[in-house]
Chain A
Amino acid sequence: MSAASRLTPFMGRPDGINPAQALAAADANLEAYRETALALVDKAIADLAEGAASAPHEEIERLADSIAALAGMFGEDGVTHAAKRLCETVRGMVVSRAWEQTTIDVHIGALRLIRTRAGTQDIAQLLAGLDRLAARKVQGLG
């Protein structure tokens, strides 16, 4: 009978580690990468701010996707939220063929603001506004 997967033979091997050890090591590795990851987030936001007016929508979406994935790994929920809304907004505008640069700029401005640590209540209001904007764009209303 064959193994369930190609990883099965590595179970129970000598000099192994257990899940708690694996997770502790992974968490430590991730923490060591935090500053690098957040620097990449800031770089991507800066790239958006600098080039979004002339960049193809694929590039805006790629940068927003990258921001959401990286920031989300390190508890930057507001940034992740805003970046995901930017992705949805871009896709909605592409589908409806109604590009609106101002809306893109609002999202990029929000990303910059959140990274500069505005007050929590301000961020919540900002994100609620982006949700409404994204919903309109996805539905082709705005």
Chain B
Amino acid sequence: MADLCIETDQSFNFGEASVLIVDENNGFMDIATQMLSGFGFRKFHRCNRLSESKTFAQSHEADLILVDPFPRADDGLTLIQDLRARQAPGSAPRVVIIMTGHTPRELIQKARDVGANYVVAKPFSPATLLDRILWSTGTTKEAPGETPVRDPLAAAASALLQ
């Protein structure tokens, strides 16, 4: 965990947090679910079609959203944009993480523009995912001597350089 910001004295209970996973790759949805189950998440909704996820997102709330926009990147980003647009003013934002095997700079820029918190490049380790989740809570202190990454684009670039 040398390059990550995980603090060992934190504790969390994500048992009541809801998760939306969107990925056309069912196998990778299983992997993401396995990781998140290890972190204590229990409430999952999984969609292997973006259209299905949009329908779900219109009527349900999710605290954490993991999206692989491949192969229809623009549709995937529109989902995030719609979610951000519906956020009530002053309310805490959902955590949106894009996970993708395709990481052109254009995608990272667009992800930032629509309000994604992070982009993580597939394959990624459980530590990388947990680091992004804990960082999003705002409870992670800056590690001494490390440069904090607050800008979403810089965070995405940092994630891609894991």
| A interface residues (Cβ-Cβ under 8 A, vs B) | 2-20, 22-30, 32-33, 36-37, 40, 58, 61-62, 65-66, 68-73, 80, 84, 87
Contact = CB atoms under 8 A, between A and B. Distances in A.
Contact of B71 (A20, A27, A29, A61): A61
A16 B137 CA distance: 15
A95 to B, nearest CB: 13
A27 B38 contact: yes
B123 A6 contact: no
Contacts of B39: 17, 22, 25-26
A36 B27 CA distance: 8
B139 interface: yes
Among A3, A65, A72, A84, chain B packs the most CB atoms within 10 A around the CB of A65
Contacts of B15: 15
A66 B9 contact: no
A6 B94 contact: yes
B104 to A, nearest CB: 10
Q: Which bucket holds chain B's interface residue count?
A: 35 or more
Contacts of A19: 6-8, 10, 130, 134
A10 B36 CA distance: 14
B130 to A, nearest CB: 6
Given A8-B137, A11-B10, A18-B9, A69 B123 contact: yes
Nearest to A76: B123
Contact of B31 (A2, A65, A68, A73): A73
Nearest to B37: A29
Interface stretch (B52-60, B85-93, B141-149, B154-162): B85-93
Contacts of A73: 28, 31, 122-123
30 contacts: A2-B92, A3-B137, A3-B138, A4-B136, A5-B94, A6-B17, A6-B93, A6-B94, A6-B95, A7-B63, A8-B139, A14-B13, A16-B13, A17-B12, A17-B40, A18-B10, A18-B11, A19-B7, A25-B38, A27-B126, A30-B31, A30-B126, A33-B30, A62-B24, A65-B70, A66-B27, A66-B28, A70-B27, A73-B123, A80-B123
A65 B95 contact: no
Nearest to B87: A6
A7 B95 contact: yes
Nearest to B99: A69
Contacts of B136: 4-5, 7
A19 B137 CA distance: 14
Contacts of B30: 33, 36-37
B154 to A, nearest CB: 17
B16 A10 contact: yes
Given A16-B11, A28-B38, A62-B71, A69 B25 contact: yes
B35 interface: yes
A7 B14 contact: yes
